[in-house]
Homo-oligomer: A and B are copies of this chain.
Amino acid sequence: MASAQAQSQPPAVPQTGLEARLAIRSGAWTGPTSGIAPGFVQGNLAILPGALASDFMRFCQLNPKPCPLLAVGAPGDWRLPSLASDLDIRTDIVRYRIFRNGELAGEPTDITEHWRDDLVIFALGCSFSFEDALTEGGIELRHVTENCAVSMYRTNIPTTAAGPFHGPLVVSMRPMKPADAIRAIQITTRFPAVHGAPVHIGMPEQIGIKDLSKPDYGAAVTVKDDEIPVFWACGVTPQSVVATVKPEFCITHYPGTMLVTDRKNSEFAIM
């Protein structure tokens, strides 16, 4: 009886990065990571074969706004000690996506059996970090209010190519009143390691977006008459670029289930 009762209760929300990873590793936490381990940095994940790793690292360094590198693993190493001392990337993500030659080949909750000696982990900053700061700054995030994914769009802005990696910048959009937009630029400027300041403001057509109500990824949100769209470089950019290359093997996180680290968002503020 006690055991059945315990199972019917929702799991406790992990409060630190370590608690989050232990809960994920043990299977106790199976949902999205948004809102868990508040204040701790979450990251986008890409795992690539060694043959592609140096080009992809160069791609990230050439395109730091969409691809802010938090950490890169050594070939074959499943650890990232600079982000989380006990991390095992093979078990510590809620759910993964495995791609073979660009095709989705599985969505497991553990990749231990898929690990290879040449795989390289890339952890990239994610907008959760700056959204935390925006919310603390009293700025409404419409996709949070409307309880949906942020609106994302492919633009006509090219990234800088590196080896086989190339493709358009993907941006996320948050509508704001003009004064909030100015404040949001100030706040996110403080976080260059997690996308930083917006790349565009107003005038979606200038960056190749024809209709704000038709995002390429995520959901459409309400844009009020007195609001201006503000566009940030988005971590979906490297995912879409990697998909174009169709690597023989590649692993990413499942959307919404990010890598939870021991680093605090506040550590990444430059002031």
Contacts of A179 in B (CB 8 A): 199-200
Residues 217-242 of A, flagged 1 when their CB comes within 8 A of B and 0 if not, give 00000000010100000000000000
Complex CA–CA separation, A197 to B186 (angstroms): 9
B197 to A182, Cβ gap below 8 A?
yes
Query: Counting chain B CB atoms within 10 Å of each CB, which of A182, A199, A201 scores highest?
Result: A182
A206 within 8 A of B: yes
Interface size on A, residues (CB 8 A): 18
Residues 175-217 of A, flagged 1 when their CB comes within 8 A of B and 0 if not, give 0001101100110010000000111111100100000000000
Complex CA–CA separation, A200 to B177 (angstroms): 9
Closest to A230 in B: B182
Contacts of A203 in B (CB 8 A): 178, 226, 228
Q: Which of B182, B201, B226, B271 contacts A178 (CB 8 A)?
A: B201
Contacts of A198 in B (CB 8 A): 182
Q: Which of B201, B226, B271 contacts A182 (CB 8 A)?
A: B201
Complex CA–CA separation, A201 to B180 (angstroms): 10
A226 to B206, Cβ gap below 8 A?
yes
Q: Interface residues, chain A, CB within 8 Å of chain B?
A: 178-179, 181-182, 185-186, 189, 197-203, 206, 226, 228, 271
